[in-house]
Amino acid sequence: MDRILEVRNLVTRFYTLDGVVHAVNGVSFDLRRGETLAIVGESGSGKSVTVLSLVGLIPKPPGKVEQGAAYFRTEQGRIDLLQLSEEELREVRGGQIGFVFQDPLSSLNPILTIGEQIKETLTRHLNITGEEAKARTIDLLAEVGIPDPELRYKAYPFQLSGGMRQRVVIAIAIACRPQIVIADEPTTALDVTVQAQIIDLFNHLQQTLNMAMIWITHDLGVVAGLADRVMVMYGGRIAEVAPVDDLYERPAHPYTVGLLGALPRLDSKESKRLVSIEGTPPDLLIPPRHCPFARRCRFAFERCWREMPELTPLGPEHRVACFYDMERGGPRNE
């Protein structure tokens, strides 16, 4: 499988009046053609900042992408997204990389009809006439499951329900047949029934369009039926990355274990006590010199307070940043 996106050692900081927020601290990962990569972690763990850094959507100031590279493979060759000009990035965004955010209302223009907004994306990125764009828009609305697309073409965002609005945002995201779609908590604000509809739609679109997808969420429950691989983030670092089955069957990082334990199990008759991760997320104003999870980790030992664990391979695709070996029940051998 070929890699469509390679992110290397991404570091993003925010220079605020309270101090320097170390939001993303050396994140490296790959995205393969056609796969779904889920990024999971509690709020503030740096999920959004990671993906926004890639496409120049970090507010500057206070934000700054300090270092790293993000190689994006297109038909024209390999480009480093972090070296592109604002102009070039605008081409990429909405063209080769589509976005879906948590709050559909804030990503739609309230005074334009949804048809006009989709059409605008099409005419900006593709070389087509207004007529063609309108026809394509109506096809797109149908594609994302909006009933009566001709009629809805003239609707304004406020006239639609939350779920319908999110479908419109998805239509805009896939309008130019992007190679990557980034979805940042796209269902967090929606009801479970609508969430199921949207996940179903994404699964369907991904099969028909063969696009790669990055799906950000704080809920490991949603990820099981959706992702090929999962990347767990904590304190602006990758804690663990693994194929989806591996992650649920053999979680290797105490934080992943905690996230899984926090989910109620529908498949058991007896209701067991949930495993909760006590304490609060790390303060990103203080750059830790040790494992960021140490303060909340029940396996923490002396080394964890001294060194920063690096991502180390466990299996062919499974990597974890932890000094403790869960399987053996003791410190990991080097």
Partner 1 sequence: MAFDNLNFSHEPDSLLDKERTWGDRVRYLARLLWRDRSGVIGVVIFLSVVAAALFAPWIAPYDPLAQDLRNSKQPPVWQEGGAWDHPLGTDNLGRDILSRIIYGARVSITVGFFGVIIAASLGMIIGSIAGYLGGRVDSVVMGFINLLLSLPYLLFVVFIAAVLGRSLLNVILIFGVTDSPIFARVTRGEVLRIRRSGYVESAICAGARWPYIIVDHILPNLIGPLITLATFEMSAMIFYEAGLGFLGLSVPPSIPSWGNMLAAGRKYLTSATWIATMPGLAIMYTSLGMNLLGDWLRDVLDPRLRRSRR
Partner 2 sequence: MNERSELLRVEDLKVHFPIYGGVLGRKVGAVKAVDGVSFTIRTGETLGLVGESGCGKSTTGRAIIQLQRATAGRVFFDGTDITTLRGKALRRLRPKMQMIFQDPYATLNPRHSVGKIVGEPLKLQGLMRGKELEERVAELLKMVGLNPAFARRYPHEFSGGQRQRIGIARALSVNPKFIVCDEPISALDVSIQAQVVNLLQDLQEQFNLTYLFIAHDLSMVKHISHRIAVMYLGKIMELTDRNTLFEDPLHPYTQALNSAVPTPNPALERKRKRFILTGDPPSPANPPSGCVFHTRCPLVIDECRTQIPELREIFPGHFAACHLADSKGSSKIAL
Ligand X SMILES: Nc1ncnc2c1ncn2[C@@H]1O[C@H](COP(=O)(O)OP(=O)(O)O)[C@@H](O)[C@H]1O
Q: Under the rule (CB under 6 A), what is the footprint of ligand X?
A: 14, 16, 21, 23, 41, 43-49, 59, 62-63, 284
CB under 5 A: which stretch of 46-54, 146-154, 164-172, 195-203 binds Mg ion? 46-54
- Residue 291 interacts, among partner 1, ligand SF4, ligand X, none and using kind-specific CB cut-offs from 5 to 8 Å, with ligand SF4
- Rg of the chain, C-alpha, whole Å: 21
Instruction: Kindly report the number of other CB atoms within 10 A of residue 156's CB atom.
Output: 15
CA distance 33 to 129: 30
- Binders of partner 1 among residues 240 to 279 (CB under 8 A) are 254, 257-258, 260-261, 272, 275-279
- Residue 9 interacts, among Mg ion, ligand X, partner 1, none and using kind-specific CB cut-offs from 5 to 8 Å, with none
In the complex, the smallest distance separating the C-beta of residue 281 from ligand SF4, rounded to whole angstroms, is 14
In the complex, the smallest distance separating the C-beta of residue 293 from ligand SF4, rounded to whole angstroms, is 4
- Residue 67 interacts, among ligand SF4, partner 2, partner 1, none and using kind-specific CB cut-offs from 5 to 8 Å, with none
CA distance 183 to 213: 7
Task: State yes or no: residue 259 binds ligand SF4 (CB under 6 A).
Answer: no
Backbone angles phi, psi at 120, to 5 degrees: -60, -45
- Closest of 216, 298, 259, 280 to residue 36, by C-alpha: 216
Task: State yes or no: residue 53 binds Mg ion (CB under 5 A).
Answer: no
Task: State yes or no: residue 225 binds partner 2 (CB under 8 A).
Answer: yes
- Closest of 165, 171, 188, 145 to residue 105, by C-alpha: 165
Binding-site ranges for partner 2 (CB under 8 A): 42-43, 147, 161, 163-164, 191-197, 199-200, 218-222, 224-225, 244-245, 248, 258-267, 269, 271, 273-278, 280-281
Binding-site ranges for partner 1 (CB under 8 A): 17-18, 44, 254, 257-258, 260-261, 272, 275-280, 283, 285, 295-298
